[in-house]
Structure 1
Amino acid sequence: MFPRVLMISTGHLSARTARFLRNHDAADWPCLGGHFGDVGFMLWVDEGASGMEPNLPRDISEVFEYASSQAASIVIFQDVSPIVLELPTYGDEDAFEADEFLDRPRKTVAKLEDEEGLVALETLAADGNAGPGDDLIEKMYEIMNVLAEYGRNKTLCSFPYTELQRLTDLASAVRLGVRRDSDKFRAHRRRIGSLLQSIDLIYTNADFGSHGPEARTREVFENVMYRLEAAKAVLKAMEY
């Protein structure tokens, strides 16, 4: 039996996701797939891919959910393919030349995460949320205080996803800052540890589903904890 293919517009990819897929070898993607010639991207629909690092972006996970509902195993994004009314659109993306990405060495996880940290800093700066290390951590605390209230009320999935994305970006920026200038962040090790404990407590007490908003919220929690754990490990190693 041949796998069913879903052809949809690249307009269903955010500029941030399309830029990542366009500028990286498929071996570095967060899911199985590859460049579809020089006109788009081909992805294998795999719900289990969300457990890999880095986690699946929200736009791809939404497409995967829709593709699964249509019994499709492969999604091909092309500029000339149709828009799906059930999915959000993010605007047109420029075509890319696949030849540029051939024979490139695979990047390390650390390199990919550093690049994600830089993208996070750019995003935070554009929103007026970037700052020194203590400011980044303070902003994480602000979000966590509100998030904890949602957790107590069992309404985590109604927490604004934009704020969850900002929390992820802040965690990525903190992790990058620790890797680049660990001395500057050394004084914040306890606060980072406290943040990690707080989000782990909310995560442990939550009853996340395996699909939809609940799954996406769970993935954000896991992503943030992963990056804070990495930052904490670097700072802890400095004690010896």
Structure 2
Amino acid sequence: MSAHDVRRYIVLSTSHVSEETARRLDNIPAGDWPCLGGPYGQYGWFLYAHDENAGIGKDEIPADLFTVMTWTRKQGYDYLLLDCDGDEVEELPRFDW
């Protein structure tokens, strides 16, 4: 029996990113995002929870999104699904948009 690489993800509300970040994720192709991920239908985005924000300029992960990624990693998850119906987390910032 071979070992399997198992990864965990958490589902959180899209309200944890700003409207500006949401527009950026919606309006540029996923291949041009500053982080690994892609759209989750019309409901949000599925993202690798980067633990380093090494980019600059357009390649920098927006601060609001990176805050959620950092929190996700601290909770023991590798990926993040931001869903419009996902749960809000008290300790994370929330944006009303």
On whether the aligned pair clears a TM of 0.5, the verdict is: yes
CA contact (8 A) 1:12 1:91 kept: no
Task: Identify the match of residue 54 of structure 2 among 37, 51, 55.
Answer: 51
Q: SS of 1:21's equivalent?
A: helix
68, 71, 81: which one aligns with 1:66: 71
Q: Which residue of 2 aligns with 1:197?
A: none
- Calculate the TM-score normalised by the size of structure 2: 0.87
CA contact (8 A) 2:47 2:81 kept: yes
SS in 1 for 2:47: strand
- Matched residue, 2:22: 18
Cα deviation per residue 1:103-149 (whole Å; 9 max; x = unaligned)? Answer: xxxxxxxxxxxxxxxxxxxxxxxxxxxxxxxxxxxxxxxxxxxxxxx
| Counterpart for residue 4 of structure 1 | 8
Alignment of 1:46-125 (within 5 A): 46-48=50-52, 50-53=53-56, 54-92=59-97
Residue 36 (structure 1) aligns with: 40
User: Matches of 1:88 and 1:38 in 2, distance apart?
Assistant: 22
- TM (norm. structure 1) is 0.37
Superposed CA RMSD = 1.1
Q: Which has the higher helix share?
A: 1
The alpha-carbon deviation at position 52 of structure 1 amounts to 2.1
User: Which residue number corresponds to residue 204 of structure 1?
Assistant: none
Structure number with greater Rg is: 1
SS in 2 for 1:68: helix
Distance 1:74 1:91 in 2: 24
Q: Which has the higher contact order (CA 8 A, sep 6+)?
A: 2
- Aligned residue type for 2:38: G
Comparing both structures, which one devotes a greater share of its residues to strand?
2
Counterpart in the other structure of 1:216: none
Q: How many residues align?
A: 91
| Unaligned stretches of 5+ residues in structure 1 | 93-240
Equivalences for residues 132-211 of structure 1 within 5 A? none
3-state SS of 1:51 partner: coil
Which amino acid letter does the alignment assign opposite residue 6 of structure 1? I
Contact persistence 2:50–2:70 (CA under 8 A): no
Aligned sequence identity (%): 32
